[in-house]
Amino acid sequence: MVGLIRDQVPKSRLVQTGLIDRMSIVSGEIEDYMLLERSLNEYEVQTVFHLAAQTIVGIANQSPLSTFDANIRGTWQLLEACRRTSWVESIVLASSDKAYGEHDILPYTEDAELKGRHPYDVSKSCADLIAQGFATTYGVPVSIARCGNLFGAGDLNFNRLIPGTIRSVLSGHAPVIRSDGKPTRDYVYVEDAVEAYMLLAEATNKQSTVQGNAFNFSYERPMTAIEVVDAILSQMKRTDLQPQVLNNASNEIPHQFLASGKARKMLGWEPKYDFEDGLSRTIPWYLNISNGVTE
């Protein structure tokens, strides 16, 4: 296993579990073309999971150039390096439901227009279209995963709703909702998403009808921010903590959720968990790290 890592985060699950010690690590940035081409060739990489990105919407709003650099330029650099490398047989691009932008007709299906309008959404729309272009024009064996909001153990971005709420509860504070609490989103537990990526990688090659295709992955269960927080409070038995609704979030798309029928039919993907199951597997990890316990 080979991993490209820009910054080593000591508290990350990759480091804490010791998995990083069982990998070949390439230190650098996804925007460094020569590094990508050298690494793909020297390690004879056959399957590529393109997970590198600046993933925080708020940071994208504040600093769009760094987001565009990583998410857009990084994508075309990697795909060009893969195109010029004979070893690569399968590539999975981690896109997002954000690539669709705002639509009146929901749920999103894979043939919906990609029309991101805010910096993060635009970066995902562009990366998605670039991947489709490399597949169509050059026959690059890339497929695209568009997931709902991922959650699970290991996420240290506490400005996200689920880890942020869990941390607030563990510290005895009321959770904070930046929006008015009413926007709806789709969710998928990280282990179900990993299974989706693996299925997609196995199905993608230069002869496959999957090449160049995009697939939605989610629980097909839109939930408001308030519903998500209430579910966490219920599982953590702290329904006495009423969420603080700030209603000051900007550039929020009111409603986003996905149809995953194509993935179920073409890939045979079926989630092993539901939202509550995922929470019950996620919360103990944050409890452990708050107590200084690592996995």
Catalytic positions, written as ranges: 120
How buried is 84 (Cβ within 10 angstroms: 0-12 exposed, 13-18 middle, 19+ buried)? middle
DSSP state string for 147-164: ESEEE-TT---TTSHHHH
Q: Using only the alpha carbons of the chain, give its radius of gyration.
A: 19
Q: What is the DSSP letter of 51?
A: -
Residue at token pair 């996905």: 258
Give the C-alpha separation, 150 to 162, whole Å: 10
Give the contacts of 49 (CB within 8 A, at least 6 positions apart): 91, 92, 94, 197, 201
What's the N-to-C CA distance of the chain in angstroms? Answer: 20
Q: What sign has the CA pseudo-torsion 205, 206, 210, 214?
A: positive
- Which is nearest to 178 in space by CA: 220, 223, 229? 229
